[in-house]
């Protein structure tokens, strides 16, 4: 394998990921689907096994030793997330199952309290369905109007539309993805924060595709809420989080109700727990949160800046090599500095599902489909694309195998 010349030694890091040693059809896995979900390093798997074997118990309830240890291990993850996002307080970190639940929490709790007829909720044409459908449902439930920032021909947001959106009513909330999962586009979040604050609204950032891949600073971004998923940052599935500004979270009613989120319950009524537990009803994903903490430690030790630099180098190499394949169109921004490590493409004469199946038979894992962004597909005029996405363990050899596979697709279909 050719080592990639960046400060991060991806070849060495691959040894941390047991699954990458797996062979399919006699070839090691070329996992190019990290935007979907990331693989897990031994450090995360071991942390979860250790926790289950030595300290597993429910949290916030038991006074016996393993109960105390479990609570400490679980709560120790909150300051790790706080540091990862540069959040002002660990009280502002709420554990959820994933980014989708974090966004729904805001849509239900903040949205249904603060929006009504005459108000506008703004989303964009490039949102993942997780950051689109909750706002459509909110608009339908409250009588607020939903408006969209559309895409331009380059796969970037057309900010020229903001003035017209502002005239549609009182803008209360803008929900926008930091980095698109289907186009790779990196959005001008600070500019959008300034705009929505100027309208008297708040900004929710979908950080599902940025938090795992580069330094994200919620204060520098000017965000009010940020959602992310642990499984995309090398943690286990089932844990993720929401960061929100304390004053907003304090004023919001609970999302789910039940155990854990209460201070006292009488038959005549209930008072709620303080932040963050007010928003964490029921037994949480205890070991998964512990695993997410181990993943944050792992990524932080490597350095999010280094990961970003590595992915930028791999993306530039992949964009170059994809250019060699006749009939192939890369979607999204043409300027590599305007995109992250996600490349969606179409190949004339071959359906994305056929491409993914042919590549998959040789151990090259890419995703084919609409990537939960059907409006983006409509904008591109396609029903689906093939997507290759990169992470800290991606090496040039993975990209070379993708390119070889695409040439094979062309020869199978006689293109
Ligand atoms: C940009 C973006 N937002 C939200 C999500 C939803 O993440 P999850 O399914 O972990 O809730 C994804 C998942 O692919 C995503 O890429």
State the pLDDT at residue 93: 98
Output the six-digit token pair for 35. Answer: 């935007």
Residues 109 and 236 in one domain: yes
The set of residues, in sequence order, having a beta carbon less than 8 Å from that of 406 and lying 6+ positions away, is: 322, 325, 328, 347, 355, 359
Give CA–CA dist 412/355, Å, rounded.
10
Q: Round to whole Å and give the CA distance between 117 and 40.
A: 45
Beta carbon of 178 within 6 Å of any ligand 1 atom: no
Please name the residue that has the structure tokens 């339908």.
140
Q: Which atom of ligand 1 is nearest to the CA of 232?
A: 10
The count of C-alpha atoms lying within 13 angstroms of the C-alpha of 401, restricted to the half-sphere facing its C-beta, is 24
Query: CB of 356 within 8 A of CB of 389?
Result: no
Residues 331 and 242 in one domain: no
130 touches ligand 1 (CB under 6 Å): yes
What spacing in Å lies between the alpha carbon of 63 and ligand 1's midpoint?
A: 37
Domain final residue pick, 256, 284, 300:
300
Q: Are residues 375 and 294 in the same domain?
A: no
- 129/140 same-domain check: yes
Give the atom of ligand 1 at the shortest distance from the alpha carbon of 127.
Answer: 1
Report pLDDT for 61: 87
Separation of alpha carbons 236 and 298, rounded Å = 13
The answer to whether residues 22 and 59 belong to one domain is: no
Among candidate residues 300, 329, 364, the one where a domain is terminated: 300
Query: In Å, how far are 184, 231, 319, 373 from 335, measured between CA atoms?
Result: 11, 29, 10, 22
Task: Please tell me the distance between residue 267's alpha carbon and the centre of ligand 1 in angstroms.
Answer: 39
Active-site residue numbers?
372
Residue burial 75-91, b: 16+ Cβ < 10 Å; e: rest: eebbebbbebbebeebb
CATH number at residue 318: 3.90.1150.10
pLDDT at 291: 99
Residue 364 near residue 32, CB atoms below 8 Å:
yes
DSSP 227: E
Regarding whether 270 and 229 lie in a shared domain, the answer is yes
- Kindly give the distance from the C-alpha atom of residue 78 to the centroid of ligand 1, in angstroms, as a whole number: 21
| Distance from C-alpha of 182 to C-alpha of 330, rounded to nearest angstrom | 11
For residue 373 and ligand 1, the question of a CB distance below 6 A is answered with no
Collapsing DSSP to helix, strand or coil, 238 comes out as: coil
pLDDT at 1: 42
342: left (phi over 0), alpha (psi -120 to 50) or beta: beta
Q: Say how far apart CA 318 and CA 343 lie, in whole Å.
A: 8
Per-residue model confidence (pLDDT) at position 7:
77
65 Cβ contact list (under 8 Å, min separation 6): none
Q: Give the domain range for residue 404.
A: 10-31+303-412
Within a domain: 36: no
Indicate if ligand 1 lies below 6 Å from the C-beta of 229: yes
Task: Please check whether residue 201 lies inside any domain of the structure.
Answer: yes
The answer to whether residues 88 and 177 belong to one domain is yes
CB 246 within 8 A of CB 275: yes
For a pocket test of ligand 1, which of 35, 97, 208, 342 has the largest count of ligand atoms closer than 8 A to its C-beta?
208
As a dihedral over the C-alpha atoms of residue 326, residue 331, residue 337, residue 339, rounded to 10 degrees, the angle is: -130
What DSSP string runs through 9-59?
-HHHHHTT-GGGG-EETTEE-EE-BTTT-----HHHHHHHHHIIIII---S
Residue 1 placed within a domain: no
Q: Provide the domain count of the chain.
A: 2
Same domain, yes or no, for 166 and 188?
Answer: yes
Rounded Cα distance between 280 and 118, Å, is 32
> In 77-186, which ranges are E strands?
93-96, 119-124, 145-149, 170-177
Which atom belonging to ligand 1 lies closest to the Cα atom of 98?
Answer: 11
Cβ atoms 151, 127 nearer than 8 A: no
Indicate whether 363 and 239 sit together in one domain: no
**Residue partners of 155: CB distance under 8 A and separation at least 6:** 126, 180, 183, 184, 185, 331, 332, 333
Ligand 1 centroid to residue 411 C-alpha, Å:
34
User: What does each of the 415 residues of the chain score in pLDDT, given as a tens digit?
Assistant: 444 445 799 999 999 999 999 999 999 999 999 999 999 999 999 999 999 999 999 999 889 999 999 999 999 999 999 999 999 999 999 999 999 999 999 999 999 999 999 999 999 999 999 999 999 999 999 999 999 999 999 999 999 999 999 999 999 999 999 999 999 999 999 999 999 999 999 999 999 999 999 999 999 999 999 999 999 999 999 999 999 999 999 999 999 999 989 999 999 999 999 999 999 999 999 999 999 999 999 999 999 999 999 999 999 999 999 999 999 999 999 888 999 999 999 999 999 999 999 999 999 999 999 999 999 999 999 999 999 999 999 999 999 999 999 999 999 999 9
Sign (positive or negative) of CA dihedral 165, 166, 169, 172: positive
- Domain termination residue (choose one: 300, 316, 340): 300
User: Across-strand partners of 148?
Assistant: 123
| Helix pair angle (77-85, 286-302), 10° resolution | 40
CATH (domain of 145): 3.40.640.10
**Distance (Å) from CA 319 to ligand 1 centroid:** 24
Q: Is the pTM of this model over 0.85?
A: yes
């Amino acid at each position: 394998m050719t080592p990639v010349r960046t400060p991060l030694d991806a070849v060495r890091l691959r040894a941390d990921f047991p699954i990458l040693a797996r062979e399919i059809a006699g070839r090691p896995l070329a996992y190019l689907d990290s935007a979907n979900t990331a693989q897990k390093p031994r450090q995360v798997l071991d942390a979860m096994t250790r926790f289950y074997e030595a300290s597993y118990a429910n949290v916030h309830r038991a006074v016996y030793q393993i109960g105390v240890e479990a609570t400490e291990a679980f709560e120790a993850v909150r300051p790790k997330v706080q540091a990862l996002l540069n959040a002002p307080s660990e009280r502002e970190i709420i554990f959820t199952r994933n980014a989708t639940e974090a966004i729904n929490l805001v849509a239900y709790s903040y949205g249904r309290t603060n929006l009504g007829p005459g108000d506008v909720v703004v989303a964009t044409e490039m949102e993942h369905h997780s950051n689109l459908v909750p706002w459509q449902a909110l608009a339908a439930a409250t009588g607020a109007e939903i408006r969209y920032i559309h895409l331009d021909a380059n796969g970037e947001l057309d900010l020229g539309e903001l003035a017209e959106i502002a005239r549609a009513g009182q803008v209360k909330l803008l929900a926008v993805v930091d980095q698109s999962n289907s186009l790779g586009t990196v959005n001008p979040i600070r500019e959008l924060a300034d705009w929505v604050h100027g309208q008297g609204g708040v900004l929710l950032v979908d950080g599902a595709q940025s938090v795992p891949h580069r330094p994200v600073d919620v204060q520098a971004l000017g965000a009010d809420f940020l959602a992310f998923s642990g499984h995309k940052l090398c943690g286990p599935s089932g844990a993720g989080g929401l960061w929100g500004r304390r004053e907003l979270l304090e004023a919001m009613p609970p999302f789910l109700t039940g155990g854990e989120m209460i201070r006292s319950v009488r038959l005549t009524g209930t008072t709620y727990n303080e932040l963050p537990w007010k928003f964490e009803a029921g037994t949480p994903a205890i070991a998964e949160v512990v695993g997410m903490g181990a993943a944050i430690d792992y990524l932080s030790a490597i350095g999010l800046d280094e990961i970003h630099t590595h992915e930028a180098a791999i993306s530039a190499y992949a964009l170059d090599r994809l250019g060699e394949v006749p009939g192939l169109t890369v979607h999204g921004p043409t300027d590599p500095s305007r995109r992250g490590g996600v490349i969606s493409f179409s190949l004339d004469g071959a359906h994305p599902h056929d491409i993914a199946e042919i590549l998959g038979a040789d151990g090259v894992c890419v995703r084919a489909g609409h990537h939960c962004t059907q409006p983006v597909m409509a904008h591109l005029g396609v029903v689906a694309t093939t997507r290759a996405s990169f992470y800290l363990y991606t090496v040039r050899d993975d990209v070379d195998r993708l390119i070889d596979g695409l040439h094979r697709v062309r020869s199978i279909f006689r293109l």
